[in-house]
Amino acid sequence: MSKKKELSVNAIKEGTVIDHIPASYLFKVISILGLDHCENLITFGTNLGSNRYGKKAIIKVADKFFEDEDLNRIALIAPEARLNIIRDYEVVEKKEVIVPQEIIGIAKCFNPKCITNNEEITTKFNLVNSNVLALKCHYCEKITTEEHLVIL
Amino acid sequence: MKNRSLVSINDFSKEEILKIVELAAKFEENPNQDLLKNKVVASLFFEPSTRTRLSFETAINRLGGRVVGFTDASSSSTTKGETLKDTIKMISNYADLIVMRHPLEGSARYASEQSGVPIVNAGDGANQHPTQTMLDLYSIQKTQGTLENLNIFMVGDLKYGRTVHSLLQAMAHFNPVFNFISPEELRIPDEYKYWLDSKGIQYYEHSEFTDIISRADILYMTRVQRERFADPIEYEKVKNVYILKNSMLENTKDNLRILHPLPRVNEISTDVDANPKAYYFEQAENGVYARMAIMSSILGVV
Ligand SMILES: [Zn+2]
């Protein structure tokens, strides 16, 4: 009920709604998606109640439809994010995000002796097949797991 | 592999490894060749490693090439705050090939992305040291006549020992059986075990260094260093357990050879040195031929 209300309050005619973003990462998501340099009408709400985990945030971007590749870049920090594609006030498609095979510039390598932590270098990781989130650094080849993951 | 950097042993396919091993044997037969005449190789040692540097520089000189560079960071512009990127960009305009040793992990991969000429990694922190691995492989081929189907025992620090990890990955091409002998604190990391599982390669772990070595074709010894232990008492408990003594070699196979990346501290007693199964000094010499093979292949002169 409350969700429906939110949507109707800030309803957009055409565009994308990104829901279930952890509230603490709202501005990170905005920056990863380049929304801080976007001319479109954007509304967001944060510190909204969430029954999933902690407080959540929501972003609505009018007249913008993202490429999956761009949206998946937020999967590391907002793995539970839900995307609603809006056409003429109606949700026409729902999507989830998946962590991409190659992660460029979002995460920090946990290895203090890694060159990326000592010189100005864009980090680069490959997703490792395992039951926990594990990223293998393209440079030092060490694996950063979820518990050591720091977002840049 | 012409014009390609060698950063990690995984950069070489099985066929390329075999080609280097074959070429190293040819250089050993005939070590003085002018294949690098008119070539300049930059030897950039951001941290000192006299052993590795002399091996590379001997290899370059035997091939008739010329060397420029520095032997530690204090004699380079990095002490003035120059970034690795800038140093590499500049030097890749001078030299045909860069040999680089650097204390930070991943530095060689990064340098290879910035450089206009190939990079040969001579060790990037605790990460990779692929020319050491190539000389280990050449030593194994030379002493066993093959790289296939061997029983390889690795002893000591299997957690931090980069030579162990690289050799394990390279040998995986050749259907080996591995036996890992180490103290509990220095066991082979799980990621390597998962990787071996995924390749269907047999391995066994042991904490005791006993007569199980009677089945070994290769005994690869490494140092157990005090600084690897959080608890000094644990180090005291294990420090004398992983020492190879000559008496332990009595029932071993005739073709067994003992390798060690050197320098050793006390993990191989000196009474082993005279045993014909001791191979670590010859192994170091093989490094020159392996490096000749690697550099001449990358420069496309063979
Ligand atoms: Zn790293």
Q: What is this model's ipTM?
A: 0.87
Q: What is the CATH topology of the domain spanning A15-96?
A: Alpha-Beta Plaits (3.30.70)
β-strand partners of B219? B153, B258
Give distance in angstroms: CA of A111 to centre of ligand 1: 6
Q: What is the distance between the alpha carbons of residues B8 and B119, in angstroms, rounded to a whole number?
A: 11
Distance from A147 to chain B by nearest Cα, in Å? 16
Asked if A70 contacts A7 with a C-beta cutoff of 8 angstroms, the reply is no
How much is the average pLDDT of A130-137? 85
| pLDDT confidence bin for A50, thresholds 50/70/90 | low
Asked if A27 contacts A47 with a C-beta cutoff of 8 angstroms, the reply is no
- Which residue in chain A is spatially nearest to B84 when comparing CA positions? A119
This prediction's pTM: 0.86
Q: Chain B interface residues facing chain A, Cβ-Cβ under 8 Å?
A: 8, 83-85, 102-107, 109-110, 124-128, 191, 194
Domains (range + CATH), chain B? 9-128+287-298 (3.40.50.1370), 130-284 (3.40.50.1370)
Looking at residue A113, its pLDDT comes to: 95
> In sequence order, which ranges of B145-231 are alpha helices (DSSP H)?
162-171, 190-199
- Asked if A142 lies within 8 A of B105 by C-beta distance, the reply is yes
A145 at the B interface (CB within 8 A)? no
The pair of three-digit structure tokens given for residue B141, joined into one six-digit string: 């081929």
B84 CB neighbours in chain A (<8 A) are: 115, 119
Enumerate long-range contacts of B285-289, CB under 8 Å, 24 or more apart: B286/B24, B286/B28, B286/B135, B286/B138, B286/B139, B286/B142, B287/B55, B287/B131, B287/B132, B287/B135, B288/B31, B288/B55, B288/B58, B288/B59, B288/B62, B289/B24, B289/B25, B289/B27, B289/B28, B289/B31, B289/B59, B289/B135, B289/B138
Give me the amino acid identity at B280.
Y
Looking at residue A51, its pLDDT comes to: 62
How much is the average pLDDT of A78-99? 92
Asked if B128 contacts B8 with a C-beta cutoff of 8 angstroms, the reply is yes
| pLDDT confidence bin for A70, thresholds 50/70/90 | confident
Looking at residue B113, its pLDDT comes to: 97
Distance from A43 to chain B by nearest Cα, in Å? 40
Mutate to test the interface with A, among B105, B112, B113 (most CBs of A within 10 A): B105
Q: What is the distance between the alpha carbons of residues A35 and A56, in angstroms, rounded to a whole number?
A: 18
Q: What is the CATH topology of the domain spanning A102-151?
A: SH3 type barrels. (2.30.30)
Q: What is the dihedral of CA A105, A110, A114, A120, to 10 degrees?
A: 40
Asked if B235 contacts B265 with a C-beta cutoff of 8 angstroms, the reply is no
| pLDDT confidence bin for B197, thresholds 50/70/90 | very high
A140 at the B interface (CB within 8 A)? yes
In chain A the first and final C-alpha atoms are separated, in Å, by: 36
Give distance in angstroms: CA of A116 to centre of ligand 1: 6
pLDDT at A8 over 50: no
Q: What is the distance between the alpha carbons of residues B39 and B64, in angstroms, rounded to a whole number?
A: 8
* Number of CB pairs, chain A paired with chain B, less than 8 A apart: 50
Q: What is the distance between the alpha carbons of residues B116 and B98, in angstroms, rounded to a whole number?
A: 10
Which of the residues of B are catalytic? 51-52, 80, 101, 129
How much is the average pLDDT of A50-79? 86
Out of A74-78, B16-20, B22-26, pick the least confident.
A74-78
Cis peptide before B263 (omega within 30 of 0): yes
- Which residue in chain B is spatially nearest to A143 when comparing CA positions? B191
Asked if B239 contacts B183 with a C-beta cutoff of 8 angstroms, the reply is no
Looking at residue B151, its pLDDT comes to: 98
Q: What is the distance between the alpha carbons of residues B232 and B235, in angstroms, rounded to a whole number?
A: 5
A118 at the B interface (CB within 8 A)? yes
pLDDT tens, B231-289? 888 888 888 889 999 999 999 999 999 999 988 888 999 999 999 999 999 999 999 99
B206 three-state secondary structure: strand
Instruction: Name the residue ranges covered by the structural domains of chain A.
Output: 15-96, 102-151
